[in-house]
Amino acid sequence: MPGFEMFGDAERKEVNDVLDNGVLMRYGFDPMRNGHWKAKSLEKELSRVLKVEHAQLVSSGTAAVSVALASAGVGYGDEVIMPTFTFVASFEAILMLGATPVLVDIDDTLTLDPKAVENAITERTKAVMVVQMCGSMGHMDALRSVCEQHDLVFVEDACQAIGGSYKGKPLGSIADLGCFSFDFVKTMTCGEGGAVVTNNQDYYIKSDHYSDHGHDHVGDNRGLETHPFLGYNFRISELHAAVGLAQVRRLKEFVARQQSYHQIIEEAISGIPGVTMRKVPEGGELSGAFINFFLPDLESARAVAKAFSEQGIDACFHYFDNNWHYVRKWDHLKQSLSLNRLAPEVQKALSTLATNDYSQSDHFIARNLSCLIKLSWTEAEVQARAAKMASIVQAVLR
């Protein structure tokens, strides 16, 4: 991670094919295309790789979450349960639909705690969204059981986890709907882009229409298409899809490299007294995009993060002090600082975030360090990095 580190002839060929063909929009202009359909081809490849019936490309991972929730009927008055640890896009996508994000604690998987989810369910709860942060997964069986018991839509945000799996199923394919991001820093990139995947044909049809102004995509004349319901513009372009098409064909290579590098670093640091690794549920396989480990306390985590930075170990994050990924620093959300007016009940719900008890999440995030694994490294560089990381951690904990 990220895939842009591996750009080469395959990506250039697909992009030049679009430029030579001249049709940059994914829909229409059939006579000009001469059979070239990059977005359709990428959707087909994603369905195959992710072992799902349907894939709908959209403009971003954020759009994927909004489109997925909308296709399941989530909107004004509904609550969506989500974790305290994620990217800000998770709550942005919910708020955009007029729904209310309900933030609950994580556990040592760094994803939703099933017990916290169950305790947060109200008569307004419509969906539960697990976010597979940093290339791993939550307790998927337990979370699905909670959703089934309460008749809730189960959504899987796998934007950071493509290539991981749980009990043989690719992450993103397990819930009712799965969401992916293909932005510039993801393992597989389109530059900008995302996808909704599902085995539910109704959700797929709705996501297909909703992401393109409600167009029904029936026939070969875009001007004659009808609009069964309102939609918006979350389309991907053929240029972005072309990059993704080349990258998805290399995804197996990318993930194998990530996983190999992850293993090297884990072997170097996991045996250090005071270090514990992130919990991976039984049957789970990491994508290897990040390596996550816990230190004994907040002070030691901050000390190691500082030492890493000072000694050239880049791309390591202490999310407790991070503005983008943890509830602690989301003041704009807590204060409803939006350019458009939010519904009063949404503002009221958000105002409680400042006083809610997230001590369980703090317990894990305060002690966690998350280090990106780059595809561009050589194995020798990874070995040296792992040894240096281990040396720094040992010195701090000593």
The mean per-residue pLDDT over the stretch 375-387 comes to 98
In the chain the first and final C-alpha atoms are separated, in Å, by 32
Q: What is the pLDDT of residue 1?
A: 85
Predicted confidence (pLDDT) per residue in 296-337, tens digit: 999 999 999 999 999 999 999 999 999 999 999 999 999 999
- pLDDT-based confidence at 295, cuts 50/70/90? very high
Q: 180: buried, middle or exposed (CB in 10 Å: 19+, 13-18, 0-12)?
A: buried
* 376 CB-near residues (< 8 Å, 6+ apart): 5, 6
Q: Is 169 a catalytic residue?
A: no
Residue 139, CB-side half-sphere exposure with 13 Å CA sphere: 16
The predicted model scores a pTM of 0.97
From the candidates 38, 40, 169, 186, give the one annotated as an active-site residue: 186
- pLDDT-based confidence at 258, cuts 50/70/90? very high
**Full set of structural domains in the chain with CATH:** 3-251 (3.40.640.10), 252-397 (3.90.1150.10)
Predicted confidence (pLDDT) per residue in 86-137, tens digit: 999 999 999 999 999 999 999 999 999 999 999 999 999 999 999 999 999 9
- pLDDT-based confidence at 375, cuts 50/70/90? very high
The mean per-residue pLDDT over the stretch 168-179 comes to 98
Predicted confidence (pLDDT) per residue in 283-293, tens digit: 999 999 999 99
Q: With 90 as the cut, is the pLDDT of residue 34 above it?
A: no
Residue identified by tokens 């690794």 is 277
Mean pLDDT of the chain: 97
Q: What is the pLDDT of residue 310?
A: 98
